[in-house]
A and B are shown apart, each in its own frame.
Chain A
Amino acid sequence: MVDITMRVNGATREGSPEARKTLADFLREDLDLTGTHLGCEHGVCGACTVIVDGRAVRSCLMLAVQAAGREVTTIEGLALDGGLGVLQQAMWDSHSFQCGFCTPGFVMQATAFLADHPDAGEQQIREALSGNICRCTGYQSIIDGVLLAAERNREG
């Protein structure tokens, strides 16, 4: 067991996970933040995506101990007042999702991407999200949600 402390969604959180425990499992089990999902546990599907120190990462490919001292944002942390951020609202308006299982990964990856590329067009967005798998939607509605969010962000 390794004692660790990290900031998660703006709050200081502590735990004593085994070194082998992934950040994804630590968030879900030790911190009760079950919004981050496990879709493959080998880094391909992107459902486990969170933001660590401003970068989108696959939390199934990080050990919890590696996040010690870091700033982690999960899907639960995007709108701490319980509301919806611009991206989430745009995705709601665009009917982006169906079963919802891939959703947290897409939302976190798109959040990180839009922060760095606020003027991205459709092709760029498709490439940026090509590492997130969705089985329900055929992706178009997700892309539309991201494009709408980018437009609304520009309008301010």
Chain B
Amino acid sequence: MAEIVAERYTGASIKRSEDPRILTGAGRYVDDIKLAGMLHAAFVRSPLAHGTVLSVDVSAARALPGVVAVLTGADLEAMTVPGPDPLMALFGAAGPTPEFTLLATDKVRLMGDPVAVVIAESRYLAEDGCELVEVDYDDLPPVMNATCALDPSSPPLFANLGDNIARPHSRHEFGDVAGTFAHADRVIDFHIDVHRHQNVPMEGRGCVASWDADLAAMTVYAATQSVHVTRNGVATRLGIEPDQVRVLAGDIGGSFGLKIGASREELAVAAASRHLGRPVKWVEDRGENLMVSGQAREESFDVRAAVSHDGDLLGLDVTVVVDTGAYPGMGMGAMVPDIMQAMLPGPYQVAALGFESTAVITNKATYVAYRGPWASETFVRERVLDLIAKDLGLDPVEIRLRNIAPRTDPPARMITGSPLVGVTTNESLERVAQLVDFPAFRRRQAQARALGRYLGVGVATFIEAAPGPRPEAPDGALGSESMRLRLTEDGIVALFTGQMPHGQSHQTTLAQIAADEFGVPFEQVRVVVGDSDVVPFGLTGGSRSATMTGGVALHGARALKAKVLDFAAHLMEARAQDLLITDGNVWVRGDPASAIAVSEVARRAAAGQFGADVDAALEVEATFDGGQGGWSGGTHCAIVEVDAETGLVQVERYVAVEDCGALINPAVVEGQIRGGVAQGIGAVLLERSAYGEDGSFQSATFMDYLMPTTCDIPRIEIEHLETVPLDADVNFRGVGEGGMIVAPPTVVNAIEDALSPFGVRIYEQHLPPARILELIAFWRPVEDG
């Protein structure tokens, strides 16, 4: 008898179901939302970095035709419930909680700090209104760097804290730090700085808040990585129950960690909507996005490395100071040292680690999560390995091979605790060496140097917890993922997930998994996202969705299928264990003629012809805790050319050998890697959130905050390693953050290699052309005569 054979989707680059609407302009982003009676908000913002607010006069603004309301910080305090950022409640604060009002009332703490909100018939009129609000400030000395913030005499930004410490100094040790350093052949010291830069999604933050006074219900159309976290934040701030708030999210124009929870502006807009009884829209413009939405990565490190003459990295002692900006937001700045500490040894056998940290408060935008928030630990480690190699006269690939923990059973443990289960760094580094052919490159490099051209090659390795090995996957709300799966009346397998894709293609990848597991065509699966009334709790972030959500989709589809087959068994008068579902049909094994369409089974279940003893509710709730979890990681390699006359750098070639377990959709995986790498290249060569010493923000347009373009990012060659499966079913691992974590050290290592004729050593991440020339001038050997 003929077998019915179905297509397999998982592992194939299935075309995205998101694309037809994206490609035709039919995507629905927050700024596309139009509601009857909708008003528009714009914010009056502080021109000072630090100051007291003496008075706010809104009378002229209120009188402007088309302006419906102007709410000051004081007005908003009266109509909201004070409290910290809702995400701090989710993750827990890692430091003292500063007290501040939703919009500034008595103090402004960064250039752009919102002081009042103007609600008008159009955004044009709202901005006109903002210009008419008169605010009287008294300047205060700005606190613009960590040195100043650490000085106890610096003016505290928050009265209740008394100082500018976001997270007090702490130190932890793993292994025998003192002994390791005492007995090492060499101890080498470095100071390494990572600069402030930021997420810059192409769509800014924003929402439309709509209060229905009759129902005492708030609807928020949001751009968010979690509709539930946003819902909770809005409910808490407005002093209403979470079930009085419904958060809807459609298409989201990128986020990279920025759009989590609810910003002060969005909460002000929600309060304004309730106050006015009309929908209010606010979408930040690019100036606001660059100036105040949030920034990341400003960290400075003092590193001591204990090494042997042969290049063993025996121990590291690291001190980091994180500049968390003015408002704690979700507190990522204060939290990030913990993750850095845990991750710092990477895939290497480092026997001892000392780690101390402090986080400080300054008059800058909030430190937010930016794609791999802890990434500087990889930058520091991979820079240090190259610097040590140079110091000891070793090859950068050799020093890594020497120090990478071999794959053992049971797996080696990082000195900070996590087991390096399934880590394939060795293999990825060796494969990179094959793809790049370093000896041939060295010959080309030498020839180029003779002609005054400076080529360089750099490698770096990384691992990321995506979601992390058992049992180290995160606890609490993020330690598992839920999903509701239903076979609808018309035969659609509907997946209700709290994931909130903003470029990750979940509506495609999750459907691939479910289609395969359940046995229907890809087109017969629908992934439902973006409605807090309908989907279970979830958050897209932390490189967890491939494993956690992919896993719950797989197991949930399996459970739903079992339920459907139990029901179908009644319909078809067969035993459930004799039934199969393939290509959208249920049939009795060995008898293709018995096939009934899944849609028909669904219709019959909905028709309710069976009695109470037959379960015709074709729906399951599934939860998945990550299974065996695991690491993603790999090795990246860049070849660059540095123009030593102008300092311009071109990335000529970029190779990534990655291990993210089983691939759901290779094109999606590769897109994530390339996007992350592009951000890393951008960080090194182009992007900096720039502040003056007077507190002025200097990169508030795309003319000053430079984004990488098509001419800055080369073709990125990607190879995937076939890895040892850790779990019987779920071996997909996250890949969203890795590119951005490892690309900066990869590129900086290559630049330093290119400049080695000048003896350059690089202790920083941002290398614009002017800086390259400064480094050459500083390090080049002084000529005789």
Contact = CB atoms under 8 A, between A and B. Distances in A.
Direct contact between A and B in the complex (CB less than 8 angstroms)? yes
B443 to A, nearest CB: 26
B411 interface: no
Contact of B678 (A32, A47, A139): A139
Contact of B201 (A101, A132, A143): A101
B202 A102 contact: yes
Nearest to B25: A35
Contact of A100 (B27, B675, B703): B27
Interface string A78-107: 110010100010011101011111111001
Nearest to B203: A101
A92 B20 CA distance: 8
Q: Is chain A's interface secondary structure helix, strand, loop, or mixed overall?
A: loop
B671 A88 contact: no
A99 B202 contact: yes
B200 A135 contact: yes
B709 A131 contact: yes
Contact of B667 (A32, A39, A95, A134): A95
B654 to A, nearest CB: 9
Nearest to A21: B124
B716 A93 contact: no
15 contacts: A28-B32, A32-B34, A37-B203, A37-B253, A40-B702, A44-B701, A75-B23, A76-B26, A88-B24, A99-B201, A99-B203, A102-B202, A126-B710, A137-B674, A141-B667
B668 A42 contact: no
Given A37-B253, A136-B503, A95 B22 contact: no
B31 interface: yes
Interface string A7-23: 00000000000101100
Interface string A112-154: 0000000000000111011111111111111100000000000
A137 B671 contact: yes
Interface string B244-259: 0000000111101000
A127 B711 contact: yes
Interface stretch (B11-19, B234-242, B489-497): B11-19
B628 interface: no
A135 B201 contact: yes
Contacts, number: 176
A34 interface: yes
Contact of B16 (A35, A88, A92): A92
A7 B122 CA distance: 25
A98 B20 CA distance: 12
B407 interface: no
A46 to B, nearest CB: 10
A95 B15 contact: yes
B702 A45 contact: yes
A142 B707 CA distance: 17
| Chain B interface size range | 35 or more
A53 B727 CA distance: 58
B637 to A, nearest CB: 16
Nearest to A133: B707
Given A101-B203, A138-B674, A42 B19 contact: no
A74 B678 contact: no
Interface string B491-516: 00000000000111100000000000
A38 interface: yes
A152 B589 CA distance: 44
Given A37-B29, A133-B202, A140-B674, A92 B19 contact: yes
A63 interface: no
Given A101-B253, A104-B25, A135-B202, A44 B703 contact: yes
A125 B675 CA distance: 19
B169 interface: no
Contacts of B200: 135
A20 B22 CA distance: 29
Which 4 A-B residue pairings sit nearest by Cβ, starting from the closest? A35-B25, A101-B253, A138-B674, A100-B22
B172 interface: no
B511 to A, nearest CB: 15
Interface centre among A95, A125, A137 (most CB of B within 10 A): A95
A18 B66 CA distance: 14
Interface string B721-757: 0000000000000000000000000000000000000
Interface of B: 13, 15-16, 18-29, 31-32, 34, 122, 124, 200-203, 251-254, 256, 285-286, 502-505, 667-668, 670-672, 674-679, 701-703, 707, 709-711, 713, 715-716
Given A34-B32, A35-B24, A37-B203, 12 more contacts: A34-B31, A38-B31, A42-B701, A45-B702, A76-B26, A88-B23, A98-B671, A99-B202, A126-B711, A129-B709, A136-B503, A139-B710
Contacts of B201: 99, 101, 135
B703 to A, nearest CB: 6
Contacts of A36: 25
B396 to A, nearest CB: 25
A71 interface: no
A33 B32 CA distance: 9
A78 B200 CA distance: 29
Contacts of B29: 34, 37, 101
Nearest to B19: A92
B23 A95 contact: no
Contacts of B716: 138, 140
B22 to A, nearest CB: 3
Contacts of B23: 75, 84, 88, 91-92, 97, 103, 107
Given A39-B202, A136-B503, A95 B25 contact: no
